[in-house]
């Protein structure tokens, strides 16, 4: 058997990817669904949607290729992190899943910091208490839905509910576990100190596994629904960002992944559990066994460009819009853009942060503003790189850029100049699902380890090196850094 399936359970769709052991992708299918916002700041989803979409997507890739489920050697899983799935003793879902982008748990985050102490919390878990994480969601259910809380028997993440439906086993990968705020990231397992301090029953938490470990086998029921062979191994996989890093080959120190999608994610593998002491970076276990990673998250990266286009030049295609910006000199004649259109996460975990153009004059026309948006996002992403260096990331040899924004040669050049490092594109474009398939193949012995798997399947397709304009951005970056401290109180006052 030489075929492998990667499944990515995201917020809007479940994707299934069929890969040969050479790394060649044969088919990809995605089944979409929606999520609910019953109240302001809430975000929920019915776990039944994930399972139905998983079944549909698996059957689609098998039908598209004519490959039998009997020929699938292993399945790997990935998916949205931090979401809360609660099961009772009979494995029934107790309430809709509270998703990663739900913002209702501010009070519970304060409780967590108070009970554990901020610095102690960061040193154990690698992270500050943020509303997106799983732990404050559990406390919210305890505080606001005690009847449900009293019936809890199991806590799972979204992709691990899919795992349960596939195998009947309760399990979680260590990358996903680290994103719950209940992990001791140095020990790569649940923190008894955090669980005890928060009063969370450790028996609710599933067993944890490295990303390439086999966590269970396809059950007879799942085989009938999906068309897969009963007994097919299901590998742990990883949270979406960790699996996507595997899918781009960012699996060893010195290679950094930069995802330029609606949000921007800077992902750097580390050989030890390094922690940014103020919790301004996420520090999680990697899907690669025995490795960790830093992660910085910008909430509006390519999303800033979409907002700008839709607001000021609706109907214009991105190539035309950005192409005009290429005629503007670096620095836009003293114009800066602060890309905090939806608040910010790194380096400022501030939901009240706002966007701004600073330095506008009558000389600035649409192309200048367009380029300022591209440069402002690049400066914001550099913030994560600077934090990683200060937290102990010794070297950055190469940045692998992915996402819709990476299709722009101008934006790639600006990023290379602002970051002062080489940017490359790679042949893999399916991200987390591809990474999950690589982890599956490694888990059943096709590859010796994840690093060698990536070397054999992923190759560089393009390179962008810093240009002479790098010196302009070095001069402007400190001015960009001055903006948030100068405007923080103004943002807070305006939000009120």
The residues that are catalytic are 240
221-237 burial code (b ≥16 CB/10 A, e <16): ebbebbbbbeebbbbbb
| 8 Å CB contact between 358 and 338 | yes
d(CA 316, CA 459): 33
- The burial class, CB within 10 Å (0-12 / 13-18 / 19+), for 118 is middle
d(CA 261, CA 282): 18
Own/partner contacts of 350-357, CB < 8 Å, gap of 24 or more, are: 350/488, 350/491, 351/103, 352/491, 352/492, 352/495, 353/484, 353/488, 353/491, 354/487, 354/491, 354/494, 354/495, 355/300, 355/304, 356/483, 356/487
Q: Which two tokens stand for residue 45?
A: 């989803």
d(CA 148, CA 203): 17
d(CA 321, CA 307): 13
Q: Which DSSP string do the residues of 376-436 spell out, in sequence order?
A: HHHHHHHHHHHHHHHTT-----EEEEESGGGG-HHHHHHHHHHHTS-EEEES---HHHHHH
Pairing assessment for the beta strands 72-79 and 3-9 based on DSSP bridges: parallel
d(CA 383, CA 428): 26
Q: Which two tokens stand for residue 150?
A: 């009293």
d(CA 8, CA 176): 13
Q: 431-443 and 240-248 helices cross at what angle (nearest 10)? A: 80
């Amino acid at each position: 058997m030489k075929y492998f399936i990667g499944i990515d359970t995201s917020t809007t769709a479940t994707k299934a990817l069929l890969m040969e052991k050479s790394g060649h992708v044969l088919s990809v299918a995605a089944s979409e669904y929606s999520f609910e916002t019953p109240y302001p700041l809430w975000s929920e989803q019915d776990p039944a949607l994930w399972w139905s979409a998983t079944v549909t997507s698996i059957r689609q890739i098998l039908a598209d290729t004519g490959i039998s489920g009997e020929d699938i050697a292993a399945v790997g899983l990935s998916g949205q992190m931090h979401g809360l799935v609660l099961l009772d003793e009979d494995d029934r879902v107790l309430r809709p899943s509270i998703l990663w982008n739900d913002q209702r748990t501010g009070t519970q985050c304060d409780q967590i910091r108070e009970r554990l102490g901020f610095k102690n919390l960061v040193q154990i878990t690698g992270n500050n208490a943020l509303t997106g994480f799983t732990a404050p969601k559990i406390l919210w259910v305890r505080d606001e839905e005690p009847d449900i809380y009293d019936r809890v028997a199991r806590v799972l993440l979204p992709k691990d509910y899919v795992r349960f439906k596939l195998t009947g086993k309760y399990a979680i990968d260590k990358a996903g576990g680290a994103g719950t705020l209940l992990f001791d990231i140095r020990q790569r397992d649940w923190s008894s100190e955090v669980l005890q301090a928060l009063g969370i029953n450790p028996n609710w938490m599933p067993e944890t596994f490295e990303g390439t470990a086999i966590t269970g086998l396809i059950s007879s029921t799942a085989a009938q629904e999906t068309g897969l062979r009963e007994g097919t191994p299901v590998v742990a996989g990883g949270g979406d960002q960790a699996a996507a890093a595997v899918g781009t080959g960012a699996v060893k120190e010195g290679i950094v992944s930069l995802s330029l999608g609606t949000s921007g994610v800077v992902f750097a593998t580390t050989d030890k559990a390094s922690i940014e002491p103020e919790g301004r970076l996420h520090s999680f276990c990697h899907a690669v066994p025995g490795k960790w990673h830093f992660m910085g998250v910008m909430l509006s990266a390519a999303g800033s460009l979409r907002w700008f286009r839709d607001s000021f030049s609706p109907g214009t295609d991105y190539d035309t819009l950005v192409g005009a910006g290429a005629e503007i000199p670096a620095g836009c004649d003293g114009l800066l853009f602060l890309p905090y259109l939806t608040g910010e996460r790194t380096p400022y975990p501030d939901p009240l942060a706002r966007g701004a153009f600073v330095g506008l004059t009558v000389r600035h026309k649409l192309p200048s503003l367009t380029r300022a948006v591209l440069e402002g996002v690049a400066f914001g992403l550099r913030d994560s790189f600077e934090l990683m260096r200060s937290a102990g990331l010794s070297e950055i040899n190469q940045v692998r850029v992915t996402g819709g924004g990476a299709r722009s040669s101008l934006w790639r050049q600006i990023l290379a100049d602002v970051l002062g490092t080489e940017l490359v594109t790679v042949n893999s474009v399916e991200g987390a699902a591809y990474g999950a398939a690589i982890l599956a193949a490694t888990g059943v012995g096709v590859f010796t380890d994840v690093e060698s798997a990536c070397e054999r399947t992923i190759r560089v397709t393009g390179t962008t090196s810093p240009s002479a304009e790098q010196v302009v951005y070095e001069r402007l970056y400190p001015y960009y850094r001055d903006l948030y401290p100068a405007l923080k109180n103004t943002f807070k006052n305006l939000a009120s």
